[in-house]
């Protein structure tokens, strides 16, 4: 499937609702400044009524003097004068501000209601999870024993349902804290959760992820090792080229990242950093594992992020140079986390993510963000919320169903996101066009104004262990629990 054939929907960005809120707020500010200027003008004009020459003219031409005084007063304090207009305009500015605040408060209230509902669903599911899971597992084993083909059909039905209903995964994940708390309330699972230190409370998904991460995975420092070989990337012409370079970086192996230097005709330098996703979910010694995913959802630092910073240091990136982060899955989460981290030490101006849950990452509003999501891919829903529809955060969604929830050739694979990126390059949507134009003007895209480019490759690895996991062998623990 070519990118041009993939239908997309766009939310956020320059054409989104949040941008309209910002426009209304700006209009209110402009009205307020105009009102203040009119009030100042009215005062200045009033002073003209006491002008010495005008007052002295009253002796020689009293009627003319009276007419002039009346005209000045009418122009300043009359029913149609400057003061009346200033009061009207400043009232309108307050109305604009009130409308914007009303809309934003309504959005926040809606989000809080959704969070509370998701938490309640999680608690209810957690309380019933033990008997439901036991019954379901026994039922599935009976079906698989009687008819392996029917068991395979059931698996396909589950995949098809999740492909068609990504909101189920999002609601489930958003109530992840409630799920753990519900398990803690069950008489069978409760003592086990308490023994593991997971008895809560977990009001948010992030707090649940933090506890699970500490239980199953240790914390490490991160290192970056330059790799041999010259694999130069051309200056990307569009978003499809960015995703293509990211796929090339991913193919370099576990822990691989790439740092591309672009020097403009003006002599200024900017950098594109390619960050692939998870390499091994259960290996505690892999730098891109499930522990790093949990840390990112919890808002914690990771060895991966530290290694990226060390790679930029070795590449001689100046802290003031503009940096674009391009990431898939965990790589997109890490890109967003670094952009949001004031202690990162580098100037991230643009972020492009593919199949990454970044809604809760807290990326600053002055960073241009383009998020590509496949609605049949459950991974972008794993933070439990929709992306913020900010004026500089554009989310592009497509619905590509492969019958597999995994990476590779599945719904989460970079091949799918390459098609979506091609559709982005072909799109005339105003939010997409604004985001891409911003990247071109910053000389991250397009060869115009580029003097030279070069690419460096690194392998990120874990370094010193900073904290041991609470479970000595997390891989065996997870496999045994799943079995």
Domain ranges, ordered by start, for the chain: 3-14+220-467, 18-110, 123-215+473-482
- The per-residue pLDDT for 423 is 96
Which of 366, 372, 420, 365 has the alpha carbon at shortest distance from 388? 365
Which of 376, 372, 278 has the alpha carbon at shortest distance from 331? 278
Q: Could you give the CA distance from residue 200 to residue 198 in angstroms, rounded to a whole number? A: 5
**Paired strand residues for 397:** 9, 373
* pLDDT grade for 3, boundaries at 50, 70 and 90: very low
- The per-residue pLDDT for 42 is 47
Q: Which stretch of 202-206, 226-230, 295-299 has the lowest confidence by average pLDDT?
A: 226-230
Average pLDDT over every residue of 125-149? 60
Number of H helices, E strands in the chain: 16, 9
**Paired strand residues for 9:** 397
Q: Could you give the CA distance from residue 218 to residue 294 in angstroms, rounded to a whole number? A: 11
Which of 193, 189, 195, 379 has the alpha carbon at shortest distance from 278? 379
* Orientation angle between helical segments 62-77 and 52-60, nearest 10 degrees: 140
Q: Which two tokens stand for residue 426?
A: 């072909």
Backbone dihedral angles phi then psi of residue 318, each to the nearest 5 degrees? -75, 135
Q: Could you give the CA distance from residue 443 to residue 236 in angstroms, rounded to a whole number? A: 10
Indicate the pairing of strand 322-328 with strand 347-354: parallel
pTM here is 0.78
Average pLDDT over every residue of 292-313? 96
What count of Cα atoms within 13 Å lies in the side-chain half-sphere of residue 256? 18
Which of 343, 372, 347, 375 has the alpha carbon at shortest distance from 358? 372
CA distance to 51, 118, 182, per residue, from 125 (Å):
80, 10, 7
Higher pLDDT, 329 or 56: 329
Q: Could you give the CA distance from residue 58 to residue 41 in angstroms, rounded to a whole number? A: 24
Beta-strand ranges (E) seen in 265-392 are 269-275, 322-328, 347-354, 368-374
Q: Which two tokens stand for residue 153?
A: 């059909």
* Domain 3-14+220-467, second-level architecture: 3-Layer(aba) Sandwich (3.40)
Statement: residue 447 has pLDDT above 60: yes
pLDDT digits (tens, 9 = 90+) for 50-94: 454 544 555 565 666 566 556 665 655 556 555 556 566 656 555
Backbone dihedral angles phi then psi of residue 459, each to the nearest 5 degrees? -115, 120
Q: Is 56 exposed, middle or buried (CB count within 10 Å of its CB: 0-12, 13-18, 19+)?
A: exposed
- The per-residue pLDDT for 61 is 59
pLDDT digits (tens, 9 = 90+) for 379-393: 999 888 889 888 899
Q: Could you give the CA distance from residue 40 to residue 32 in angstroms, rounded to a whole number? A: 13
């Amino acid at each position: 499937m070519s990118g041009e054939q993939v239908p997309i929907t766009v939310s956020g960005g320059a054409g989104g609702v949040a941008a309209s809120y910002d426009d209304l707020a700006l209009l209110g500010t402009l009205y307020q400044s105009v009102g203040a200027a009119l009030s100042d003008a009215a005062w200045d004009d009033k002073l003209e009524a006491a002008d010495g020459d005008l007052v002295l003219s009253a002796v020689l031409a009293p009627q003319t003097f009276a007419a002039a005084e009346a005209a000045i007063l009418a122009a300043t304090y009359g029913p149609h004068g400057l003061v009346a207009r200033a009061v009207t305009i400043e009232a309108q500015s307050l109305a604009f501000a009130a409308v914007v605040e009303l809309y934003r408060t309504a959005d926040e209230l809606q989000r809080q209601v959704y969070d509370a509902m998701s938490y309640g669903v999680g608690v209810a599911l957690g309380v019933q999870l033990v008997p439901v899971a036991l019954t379901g597992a026994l039922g599935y084993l009976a079906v698989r024993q009687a008819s392996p083909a029917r068991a395979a059909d059931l698996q396909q039905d589950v995949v098809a349902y999740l492909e068609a209903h990504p909101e189920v995964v999002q609601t489930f994940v958003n109530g992840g804290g409630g799920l753990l708390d519900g398990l803690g309330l069950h008489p069978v699972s409760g003592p086990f959760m308490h023994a593991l230190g997971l008895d809560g409370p977990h009001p948010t998904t992030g707090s649940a992820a933090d506890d699970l991460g500490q239980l199953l995975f240790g914390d490490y420092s991160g290192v970056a090792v330059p790799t041999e070989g010259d694999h130069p990337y051309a200056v990307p012409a569009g978003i499809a080229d960015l995703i293509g370079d990211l796929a090339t970086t991913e193919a370099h192996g576990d822990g691989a990242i790439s740092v591309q230097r672009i020097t403009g005709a003006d002599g200024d330098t900017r950098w594109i950093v390619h960050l692939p996703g998870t390499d091994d979910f259960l290996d505690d010694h892999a730098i891109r594992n499930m522990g790093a995913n949990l840390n990112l959802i919890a808002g914690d630092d990771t060895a991966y992020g530290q290694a990226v910073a060390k790679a930029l240091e070795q590449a001689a990136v100046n802290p003031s140079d503009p940096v674009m982060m391009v990431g898939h899955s965990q790589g997109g989460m890490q890109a967003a986390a670094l952009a949001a981290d004031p202690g990162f030490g580098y100037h991230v101006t643009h972020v492009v993510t593919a199949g990454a849950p970044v809604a809760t990452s807290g990326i600053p509003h002055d960073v241009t963000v383009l998020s590509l999501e496949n609605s049949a891919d459950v991974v972008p829903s794993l933070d439990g919320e929709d992306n913020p529809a900010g004026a500089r955060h554009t989310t592009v969604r497509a619905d590509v169903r492969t019958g597999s929830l995994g990476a590779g050739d599945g719904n989460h694979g970079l091949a799918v996101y390459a098609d979506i990126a091609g559709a982005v390059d072909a799109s005339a949507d105003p939010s997409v066009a604004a985001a891409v134009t911003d990247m071109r003007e910053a000389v991250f895209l397009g060869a115009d104004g580029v003097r030279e480019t070069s690419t460096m490759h690194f392998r990120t690895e874990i370094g010193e262990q900073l904290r041991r996991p609470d479970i000595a062998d997390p891989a065996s623990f997870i496999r045994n629990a799943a079995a």
